[in-house]
Structure 1
């Protein structure tokens, strides 16, 4: 049997094949050859943007081979080993041809195939010559087929040997036009739209959606190149992305709303990870992004591969602290791994299988090529002008394009901020058109991830506009995105006080937690988390009823990550006496249940942090409840050995508090008993 492979798992113009197994029956081999040749001939019904002449000649030759395979099918049992060997070589070659034609007809790959015209033509020529070689050694006289079929196969062999398979003149001209446009961008000249339209028309890229597919495909190619450690084509691919992004934003008036809805479906959630320094995701040993973080006995976290090499070399101390390791057990840090994966998804970072293939997380700070840099700058200026002076349709589309451009590219965000796009975007937040408002607030969300974008929003009075959307947004999606913007604005230390002092901020976030959709609740929770880094905002949140609202969310939500984020906020509120008092009255049993049941390690750590704060602020009233829980000590000791260093410190401190309380109570009990005992002895 001949196995198949997954064509979608390979990179473009890479041709893995399956060799026929040794001892395969001639009948099975022929059936597979006939099926392959029929599949290849079906490409005549698929439109090709380039390589049309080479593909047409290849299909003609394969159709002849298909007839030949069908003719010899009846005589398969009597085939010699030499015939089977030649047919096996043809089978491998036909697979490569099928893959090459699939790439030429691939949706989204039109521009890239055109720019690789010479390489693709060489592939066609090489594969056709391979067919000629296989037919050269095929003992045609030993195969019982009609004479006219043999003559046709012989003619095919000669034609395959002489086939030139060169780049078509029209493809060559289109390629030169693309290079000319890229050169104009590189020299900071805005190209002639007529010339660009000629190229797009030649490639049948006739709509906004087709242009968008080309961009997405090229972005995937860049990611695949970094993953494979092959960055040679990044400048060309980046230049083509810049050109097509310019075309999508400037030359096409319509756009597809579903595209951004699908691509933002996962990205609209804001995670607490954004409060962390990305450098925390690097292994202290290799300094590379950790792909499989594990925690050692001292509570420090390393990448599994790096710490295993350290231990195998005979080192039994913690590389970071120098402490002797009491155990060499490596505990998977699943919470941190999830944070790293979410960070990579947010910023377009590929997690490689080995540390040497990890991409620099700041890769998108650079444009990739001078042509791409100029194209994005021209496009940013155009979109900013459209936001300010276009009609409603043009304004909405410009905001939509900014959403796409700024989604996971730091350089694009910088260009858009420099072009002055934030002030007109803020004006669109007042729109009564739900789509326009959503596009504007989503674009601002992407730009608010940059410090300069955050500063621009604040300086242009954007906080009140964002809060208005948070309270009265036309769509639930707009409200949840507004909450995410609050989170990013609150990441600036100087702004937390100002944001919290606005009387609308915290009540609006709590209202979204109570009545928003699941994503809105989560975004509001993490926005509140960021605000609580300023201590006075804790008092404001407590006064606004944050404790009761968050406890209600803990009870109603069934998502572990939401519970973890909620516990993170409660742990901050519990640092104050009023917060601890409110939590103590209503939630000690709930916190204990979550400590034992929640799946995330971070969630357990936050539970311990809350209990620790309750003990410090509320004293014996809380400790007396905790000491009666027989399972608590086991959970605390588990965190001491398996949790992070911070969690270990909290757990050890709480254990000491509980032990001290038990010892004190035991001493008091003895003192109460001693007078009675003495009296009893005297009487006796």
Structure 2
């Protein structure tokens, strides 16, 4: 019963933390405080996953988890409040809000301190990670609000205190920019937030809310004066439908996605900016030339002023026009497929027309067209980074992902997954592939059922994507680890290499170690260690060193009689293999002292002394750790029976 309750509690806590982390705080003056709190809570997830999956349980652990669950409620409430409340209020009442943060932080620190870590089967690394969170929480309690923008506070306080006075435009501009109140939508949302606070006060907000509203009006008047065309700015609330000519009252209204978010007109030359949003080229060109550095729709800071044609959308618009009896919009002759919005293209137009043609073939109902298009995109994406950016920005990734699961043609699958592999080489594409396009389940599908070459490239793709830490979690949760273990065991030589590199990267994340152990990875690794001809010894030993730090990993590794193998690597292996073998023994010997006696009997002491003196830096550290464990164990035995380790061995 306790085990079932513990499992449910731990999962509830994981879900709660993920929900808290998903609360938007990007546009609040307290975003740093919100981000720090969310980040610290997310660091607890690996520990909670271990607690959830461990077999042992106790009423004391359950009680501690319940306390942590209770402490998360005010944390979630506070972040929800901060993400929705008036920005002006947050700045002017920053001390009051900060007290709430400190109270929430203190509750979390108290709950974490009450967890009986000595009764939990979690790794030393996780205990250190939780201790780090505790240190950060305690520091946050004592530090208070020392990360404020004091200049913003002083300027806003000046506006608040001197409502009737004339205010310098520079101050208003600074306040509006820092609070991100530069568009009609932003100003309207801030007004609604103040209105909600008035409503929640029972209709009697007092003088402070009235003065905050007057401050907002001052900011709004300045922004509208500074930007006379604000009514035509992006994200305005009032929606304007495309203009209809006389006699065109029955003309169908284009879908919202076909209209530019700035002009709200049907797009003739849609282009994608670095935030992933699509605009009419001329509209975004004027926006960028006006000195704006953000995406008009999302307000994200643009990493580049380069725009890329959205060929797929352009084709869909043309198809919609044709099906509705409307003349398709004509693209301007000076369209620049991939360039700054205001500069000339450095890439031949026919190259981009070729990409557009290939994307249309990907959506074809003819398998031959899909296969040939995916193959050509595979080659284009392999050539250079410019092609990778252009292909991804044009909307190719979702179409390739679709082919991973719907195509019954092995060759098409292989081309599609390899195209995604080549596109993932570009750092900007990794997040888009995993999150925007949801490619991981499709890649795992190919890894399970594709041809050997497709499985190899699927494994390589997962390795490429897992370079980003957040992706490790997503890939592990999608069920990628069992088929990777199968490929490591049964694949071709290249397949084994690809699977090993992917598994190594994924198992760096604590939460994936248990998944790998349960998928049967340890026996496969031990077998590869005894097969030098496999060429997989280095990779197998490196992964084993990671898994042996996991509670379940230790027990499974120990059952495989690893000590003689590890001692032999310390005696005859390469410098890298020596340090990994020593790392395995460090974890095993801290778990079961019988391994110390066995290793001593095999003559490890002289090997460790040599390694401590002449090994690699990591090897020296691991050798020193083992020597310390031998010394400590020897002292214990002397105290208990007057016999040292060597004496005990002589009696065995």
State the TM-score, normalizing by the size of structure 2.
Answer: 0.43
Greater RCO structure (CA 8 Å; 6+ sep): 1
- Structure number with greater Rg is 1
